[in-house]
Every structure is written in structure tokens, then in C-alpha cells.
Structure 1
């Protein structure tokens, strides 16, 4: 039973209702400079999470491949674009890193970790279109999502292309918001860097254009729903755009003509960044002293690189796979590694579409406008397009593709996080313990995801984490064994390591054997069987090991004067063991849930420390 004023008659006299506390709701915690400080604090924590223990995990197969050729470039100064290892950013930048701080698993991953750690700063660029709490919410997703954390601690380009592409978008938004043309140049440089990391930077541009088209279409639908003329609206757009741009840039004494010149300048910056990274080495350095050769180098760095990528994409059979298994795998990874972000994204989309939005600096959301904001819808459309498109675009079923779905969904998720924050504060004020408990569960789930991702980073053999781990990850104990091998290589004279060539028992594929080891000095490698050694060549190359191999044979291969280290697949273990009775045997999972590698070591060859 209720009283006439709507308050329950049986409520205790000391009960606190929401209506009674609305006027006493605390002022927003995040306003103005405090929001920037909060984003900076989140970024600092993101950097810390990514850098601590960065070198603890053994290199993944893919890390070992890119790392090996980065080492070769560091040693011989020769590099050219090969689409199979993606863009030249990591080899080029890691050459400088190796020079400054040395060669290690830590230094090889450091650039990715730093860029991934700085990624939350991008949230600040969208502050005119999100309120303060939402800006911090966006930074939190970019800092703490388990998939983004894991693959920011992985020497691969996915976190890099995502960060650079979102920064480019943010700089364009700031240029429009402020009328400051310098942001266009920063956007050109950022998108140029995105294109130097991985070819799917092109998909980011396509998704941006597609999402913008859908947002514009929604605008037309809204106009039609109000009974206004869509045709009249479209006819008025050119004149409106001219007035808007002119007035916007006139605030900084720029006109439309100067804007066009600066757009071309930003595009020139984009091309300069792309050309610098894609230019073959040492031809680039030689051309700087011979301007006549510079045009050929620039042609190879731009048109030549584009042709190489197209040929690889068109002829490589990258899309020759069934769609549904790839879609299912990507969806499973998202549920496992980004489930909290997905829930927040759905909540945020609903809240933004049917709730109200306060001013940028307001946290309460009271009294604001209604209707979905373009940035929230833009992120959602971009995310859905990525979810549908990446199973087609990727050539292997790999969890890192989920990074490109999580990042766009972070925008609507930021609205969901802000909504939880506001509702939790209101619940605290009204002593609503049920709502507070639910909010605590969500926060614990998000934090446990980050902890779980880092636990998987350190303990890569757990099948419980296979939705995040890609199958070509060796178990971490192999790292300790390779440290012994490196110590032997540093002290031993002659051949240090012998790979025992073999045929795969089911596919009959030739493994481990390379006829001419000197062919591995320059790209491409001398035979496909070299890839079956990865990631071990990274460790052997940085130790300067002298490596050879035996040719696979149906007949028993005799080991004459074996070196101190022999490496074989587990199906050859019995045969090798019979010939190396004095060697210590170290077995390790080489491809999780698949192959096993056996390393035989003459312990007497390990130098004393």
C-alpha cells in the first residue's frame, strides 16, 4: 500500500529514497583537468602492466619469424618488403631498439608494449563527443581489455595498427572540433604508421567510410521521421559544408583554400611515412647520396609495395577457407577475452540511444539531449563490420583478429561503463546494496580477465586459455632449455646445433632440414622446412650459433661426431636417443596441443658460470 505522495507507507522512518537524495547527489568526480589526470593515470598503469615481465614468455612461432628477419636486417642492413611478414615497421624500429638496449625477448616486444600502453591516450582526442566519465571509460577498455593486454605484449602488428589507426581517427575529429590544421598532419602521420605495420590498415579506412555512411543514413532517416524533406536536406549540404568549414577555419584565420592545401600536405606526410618504411635497404641510404636513384627507390616503396601486397593477396589463397568456422572461432575469442566489453557495448548502445546525454563535462547525464550520438553509433557499426569481415580477410584462424573487433566496440562500451559508474554512485547514495553488489561483480569480472590474460602469458600450456592463445605457441619451459643452448653456442667451437631432419608422420611434410644454411642469411628462407624450426632460429641467431641439419630419409640416419645440441621431433626421439645415450633429453610442447620437440644436450659442453 502506498500513500498519496507515492512513498511506501510501510517504509521505515530512516529509509533513504532516491527522490530524497537526488538533490544531495555528489558533484561529478571527473571534470575538466581531472579527466585528463585520470586518463594519464590509466595510461601509466597500462604501460606498467604491459612492460613488467615482458620477456618472461618464450617467443611464439610468428614472433620468432619476424624477429629472425629483424635480426638479419640488424646484422647485414638488408631489408625489403615481404607481405608474408607484414609491414616493415617492426624490423625497422627494432633495429634501432636493438642498437640502444640490446637483443632480447624483452627488447623485441618493447615497441609493441609501449604503443599498446599509450593507446588509452587516444580517448582524450574524443572528449568533445563523450562526457568525462565516458572518456575515462574508453581509456579503461583500451588499457585493460584482456585481449588488448595480451597482444600488446606480443611482437605482432595487430595492437600497433589498431592504435595508430584510432589515433589517426582521433586527430581528424580534433581537427574538425577545433579548426586547428596541425591535427591533420598528425592524422596523416598516424595513418601512415598504421599502413607500415599491417596491411589491414586498409580495412580500417574501409570501415571508417562504411560506418560514416551508415551514420549519415541514420541522419536522413531521422529527418524523414520528422516529416522534413530529405531531398531538401541533401541539396542544402554543399552550401552548409562550405559555411561550416569556412567559419570553423576562419577562427584560426584559415580559409577553405588553405584547408585544401593542408589536406594535401597531410596526405604528403602520409606518403612520406609509408615511403620511408617501405623503401628497401640499403638502397634507401644509397639513394640519399645519389638523387638520380631516389625515384626508383620511392617507386619500389609505394607502387612496388602495393603490387607485392596485391599479388600476395590475390595468389596466396588467403580467402580459401570456410567462413563459419572462422566466424565461430572469432566469436568464441571475443566472448572469452572480451565478454565484459561486449556487455558494456550493448548496454552503452541502448543507453545512448534511449537515454539522455549531458554536456561534455557533466557526469550526471540529467537534462541532456536525447538520441544516439554519431561516435557511439560509428563505433558499433565499425565493430559489427569487423566481426563479419575479418573471418573473410584473415588467412588463418587466430585470436589476434579479435583485437580489431574489441577496439571499435570500446566506444559504445565506454558509455556502458559510464552508465554503471553513475548508477553505482546513485546506489551508494540510496544504500542500494543489491545494485552495488552487481556493480562489484562486473568490476571483479573485468579485473579477473586481465589477470587471466597475464596468467596465460606466463603459463602458455594451459588449454583453458586456448581461446586467447594461438596454437603455434611453444610451452614456456623451452625458454630455459634454449638458454642452455645459447650458453653452449657462445663457448663452443665448430657446429653447435644439429636439426635432425624428418618427415611429418601424417602429412609427409619435410621438416627441420635446410640444404644450404647460408641461404638463411637473406630473405626469403632457403626452403619451407625452415619454418618448422620456429621460433628457435630467433634464439640461435642472436646467440651466433653455428647450425646445420640432416636430410630426412626413410633409412636410419647415423649421427657422426654429433654437436653438443641435437634437436628433433618427438617421433624421432627413440632413434636419436639410441645414438646419444650420454645426452640429456628435454621434451617440450612445440605447437600447443599438437607437436612436441626434443632437445638433446651434452651437459658437459655448458660452460661454468
Structure 2
């Protein structure tokens, strides 16, 4: 026993130190944020590849695969920024392309949003910090579009992360946060063109904060001193040098992403310029001036439809997925503004940012697609966390004071908020991720955009993959004017030919499976020497089926509704396993799967 005593004493000392460590409020807060980050990443990565690609994911994914094959890429404003093209190209090259991997960048960047709450620890109390992390992790709209290969969540997350680093810069005066924030802003500029709206919104919110300070100043001399001291602080400590280096970092990132790639063409390209430095001016000009001109040519006119119609469409989505966030944000902003002698800049700034986005986005968006509301709910999470934190604090204080009724009511409100948010998030992202309606088959699922294929397509895609892998020659024949493309090589970039866009998202999968694809509008060509897979509109099902002896038919919607399409698969190419995986019911029936 005596020989065990030192070990036992050491263990008690370690336990005491550990328990002492977690008695520290700062450490407990950090541990809570870490746990929320793990939760956020887990629910974003779980089943990430289960939902079939959306129309938009399909076209971008296809062009990334073609870019990886040809080495040719240039910025096209109509398909937004270059982030996915370059990042996913490298990911696919390292790990192999898949639905899961294509969505990983968005899931990870969004999953790290709760970590940004820790950077606000000088501006928010510890309860508010944790509440903000929870809202970032569970917000239904953010979660749903975090499981998409789309730019909107990336843009919102990059800009929120950037704000967090800039706030930390003001709190610590450490230059590294300037560079980190600027790097995140530069990455935001590689995602989507409405990053410029963020810049304008930030300038407006900052101007309001400066006005707050000037109003709070006692007299004209104090206001003058505030302005002079602010300008003086910029000149001191080498900040002008750091600012210049940060601007250089910004343009280096932008040029790297926007510079054209031209491996198999005679045009200037980024990697070619390293072998021929005289090409750099043309590459840099195209990456900066050329990209700016393309952006203005496509997106400079904003929304050309009625403002109220667009506002109503986006408002319905925001109400379905973010009503609690809106209510909490308004309450948190008012609570912070009128409860304190001096409202907190961070709370006011993010509320202005989110509120202007709600009102202003219907002016600038070309279409009222549901993912646009992401840009409002991300900044509004900060004032919403203030309200949620106030409820938690109220419950704790009431319990400590022996006021059981107040404590119970506050706890109930917190449970309603968190529970409703989590329930909506689970329903949208996991129970009905591609359903047109919710459980009652009458309530529209407004988070699901029209271009999402309806439920049931995945088993047929898995069957098609196996058939393609076992076949030589042409694998897939598209039939009909809706799908016809005279030259399939036209589909390598955004100006894809003919009916290619009506095929989406299937081209992503056929390219992923290495299929040899052709198309025709001649019925006789279908039955002459058909490949193992023929795809046609449901309206042509009967006449195409008559030309295909021994084929099984699987019918699906390529969008959420109104795009009934039939996949004819040669029964002789199906083994028992493929037949079971790809079929629902008898192959001779017209049952929709």
C-alpha cells in the first residue's frame, strides 16, 4: 500500500487541478464553445452525401470535373465566384469526387461558425458567447444550406469570421488579426458577387456607430478629439504598413482565384505565366479588371422584378426557417440599446447589418431564391444571442433568489426557443431535405428550391453507376428535344448547348461515373442499337418503351415537380442486386418511384 500512496496523491493533485481549471468561467466557456463546434460539424457532415445534387450543384459540379480534365477555366459571372472550382478540383484530385466531398468545404466553414463566438468574448458575456455558438450551430436556414455546394453560406460565414477577427484586432491591437480578417474577406470575394453588398452594408453600419460615438460625446471639442485621436491611432504603431501588407494579401488571394487557367489553349493562364513571366500583366488584368467588368455586365442592374413580390417570397422563407431568430434579434437589440448606458457596438453593428439585408436584398437579387435569406440570419444571430443569453441569465438569477415561478418561465422560454430551432433544423435538413411539402402534405417546404430533384432518385443513380461500370461504348442516350445537344463537347463550360440544362443534375453523375453520353431526337435511332441506359421525358415513355425490348423503366422528377423523366435500363445489364436497388415495385407498372 505504501508504494501506491505517491501515485494516489499525484492523481488527487491532477484531479484538483482539473476541477480547478473548469471552475474558471473562461475555461468553461471555451469548453462549451468547443463542444458546440463539434456538434455543429457533426450535424453538417452526417449523411452529407445522402441528398441528390440540386440543379445548381449539378451544373457547377459537372464543370469542376471538366475543368479538372481539361485544365481550362475562366471566370463567368453567371455561375458566381471561383472558390469551388479551384478548391473542389484539388479535393477531388486528392480524395476522389463525390456528393459528400463536394459539400465538405461549406459544411466545415459553416461548422466553425460557433468558434467565431469565442472571438467576441470581450464584447459579449460568457452566456451570450455560448448562446451565439448554439444559434450558429442549430439555425435551420444556416444548417440546411450548409449541406449544399453553394456559395451563400460560404460568403456569410467568411464575412462573419472576418468581422470576428477585426473585432479581436480592436480588442487586442495585435496585427495578426488584421491579416486573418483580410484573408477571410478575400476568400469571401471568391464566392459570390453580392460580397459587395456586404461591403456597403458594413460601411453604413460603421457610419452609424461613429455617429453613436459623436452623439455620446459631450460637446464639439470632445467630438473633435474623438475624430483626431482615431486618426492619430491609425498613424501610430506601424498600422499604415500593416494595412498596406493586408491590402497586398487581399489582392494576392483574389488574383490567384480569379486568374484564368489555360492549360490546353493558347490564351494567357496563371501557371503558364510562371514559365513566361511576360504573361503576368495580362493574367493580372483579367483577374482584376476583366472580372470586375464581367460582374457589372451580369449583376450590375439588380432585381428587375417587383420589389414587394421579391420581399414577400424571401419573407416567407425567413418566416418559416428564421422567425425565432428575427424575434430574438429585435428583442436583443432593444434590450442592449435601452438597458445599458452605452449600447455595445457589436450588437448594434450586426443588427444594422442584418436588418438592412432583410430590407435591401429584394432590391439587388435577380431571383428570390430561398438561400438568399442566409445573408440576414447569420448577422442577426448576434443580437439574437443577447436575447437568449438574457433569458438564461434571468432563469439563473431567479433560481438563485428563490423565485421559482420566474425561473420556471425563463427556463421554459429557453427550451421553447432551442427546442423549436432544433426541431425545425432536423425537419428541414434530415426529415424533408428534398420534399416539396412537410408532414401534412399541404404546408410547402420553402427551404427546398424548385431545382431540387424529388425523393427517390438515389437508388436509380446507384443502378446506373453499376451499369455504366460494366459497359463498353456509349452508356447513356438522351432522347427528345428537351435533352438534345448536337455536340456534347459544348457542355464543357457555362454556355452548354441545347437541352443540356434540362438534364441537370444527371450530367454530374454521368460524368462522375465516366459515362459516354450521346443524344438524339430521332425515334428510330433509339431502337437501332440502344445503349444500356436511355433517358426521356415521361411524355415520350410509351413510344420510347416500344423501341426498347427488355428494358426496365424508372420514373423520377429531375426537379421538385413538373419534370417527370423516365430512365430506361437494359434488364440484361442488371443483376439481382442492381434490380432490387433500382426498383420500387413491378418493372411493368407505371408506378412513380
State the Cα distance separating 1:352 from its structure 2 match: 0.7
Q: Which residue is equivalent to 2:243?
A: 263
**Correspondence 1:404 to 2:375:** yes
Which of 527, 542, 546 is the aligned partner of 1:574? 542
Q: Which residue is equivalent to 1:122?
A: 116
Which of 191, 195, 204 is the aligned partner of 1:201? 195
Q: Which residue is equivalent to 1:545?
A: 515
- Using a 3 Å threshold, how does the CA distance of structure 1 residues 459 and 243 change in structure 2: closer, same or farther? closer
Q: Contact 2:391–2:413 at 8 Å: present in 1 too?
A: no
Which of 79, 83, 88 is the aligned partner of 2:77? 83
Which of 350, 361, 367 is the aligned partner of 1:379? 350
Alignment of 1:405-554 (within 5 A): 405-429=376-400, 430-432=403-405, 433-456=408-431, 458-462=433-437, 464=443, 466-502=445-481, 511-520=482-491, 522-551=492-521
State the Cα distance separating 1:319 from its structure 2 match: 2.0
Residues in 2 aligned to 1:581 and 1:446: alpha-carbon distance in whole angstroms: 52
Q: Contact 2:186–2:251 at 8 Å: present in 1 too?
A: yes
State the Cα distance separating 1:593 from its structure 2 match: 3.0
State the Cα distance separating 1:528 from its structure 2 match: 4.7
**Correspondence 1:176 to 2:166:** no
SS state at 2:143 partner: helix
State the Cα distance separating 1:608 from its structure 2 match: 7.2
Q: Which residue is equivalent to 1:4?
A: none
Residues in 1 aligned to 2:410 and 2:130: alpha-carbon distance in whole angstroms: 22
Q: Contact 1:487–1:607 at 8 Å: present in 2 too?
A: no
State the Cα distance separating 1:245 from its structure 2 match: 4.7
- Using a 3 Å threshold, how does the CA distance of structure 1 residues 219 and 497 change in structure 2: closer, same or farther? same
Q: Contact 1:456–1:462 at 8 Å: present in 2 too?
A: no
State the Cα distance separating 1:512 from its structure 2 match: 0.9
Alignment of 1:31-70 (within 5 A): 31-70=25-64
Please identify, of 402-411 and 180-189, the stretch whose mean Cα deviation from structure 2 is larger: 180-189
Q: Contact 2:486–2:498 at 8 Å: present in 1 too?
A: no
State the Cα distance separating 1:318 from its structure 2 match: 5.0
Which of 276, 290, 293 is the aligned partner of 1:307? 293
**Correspondence 1:602 to 2:586:** no
Alignment of 1:78-477 (within 5 A): 78-223=72-217, 228-229=218-219, 231-245=220-234, 255-256=236-237, 258-281=238-261, 282=263, 283-314=269-300, 319-356=303-340, 370-429=341-400, 430-432=403-405, 433-456=408-431, 458-462=433-437, 464=443, 466-477=445-456
State the Cα distance separating 1:217 from its structure 2 match: 2.5
Please identify, of 437-446 and 165-174, the stretch whose mean Cα deviation from structure 2 is larger: 437-446
- Any idea what the Cα deviations from partners look like across 1:473-520, whole Å, max 9, x if unmatched? 002311211111121111112211111123xxxxxxxx2110101222
Residues in 1 aligned to 2:474 and 2:575: alpha-carbon distance in whole angstroms: 16
Q: Contact 1:383–1:408 at 8 Å: present in 2 too?
A: yes
State the Cα distance separating 1:234 from its structure 2 match: 4.1
Residues in 1 aligned to 2:307 and 2:321: alpha-carbon distance in whole angstroms: 21
TM-score (norm 2): 0.87
State the Cα distance separating 1:271 from its structure 2 match: 0.4
State the Cα distance separating 1:212 from its structure 2 match: 1.1
- Using a 3 Å threshold, how does the CA distance of structure 1 residues 442 and 142 change in structure 2: closer, same or farther? closer
State the Cα distance separating 1:558 from its structure 2 match: 5.9
Residues in 2 aligned to 1:492 and 1:173: alpha-carbon distance in whole angstroms: 58
Q: Which residue is equivalent to 2:587?
A: none
State the Cα distance separating 1:162 from its structure 2 match: 0.9
- Any idea what the Cα deviations from partners look like across 1:18-77, whole Å, max 9, x if unmatched? xxxxxxxxxx98821222221111111100000010000000000001101111112222
Q: Which residue is equivalent to 1:593?
A: 561
Q: Contact 2:388–2:414 at 8 Å: present in 1 too?
A: no
Unpaired segments ≥5 residues, structure 1: 1-27, 247-254, 357-369, 503-510
Q: Contact 1:187–1:266 at 8 Å: present in 2 too?
A: no
Residues in 2 aligned to 1:29 and 1:455: alpha-carbon distance in whole angstroms: 37
Residues in 1 aligned to 2:189 and 2:347: alpha-carbon distance in whole angstroms: 25
State the Cα distance separating 1:275 from its structure 2 match: 0.5
Q: Which residue is equivalent to 1:366?
A: none
Q: Contact 2:81–2:191 at 8 Å: present in 1 too?
A: yes
SS state at 1:127 partner: coil
Q: Which residue is equivalent to 1:16?
A: none
Residues in 2 aligned to 1:528 and 1:390: alpha-carbon distance in whole angstroms: 32
Unpaired segments ≥5 residues, structure 2: 1-21, 264-268, 578-593
SS state at 1:437 partner: helix
- Using a 3 Å threshold, how does the CA distance of structure 1 residues 526 and 342 change in structure 2: closer, same or farther? closer
State the Cα distance separating 1:438 from its structure 2 match: 3.4
- Using a 3 Å threshold, how does the CA distance of structure 1 residues 435 and 186 change in structure 2: closer, same or farther? closer
SS state at 1:197 partner: coil
SS state at 1:594 partner: coil
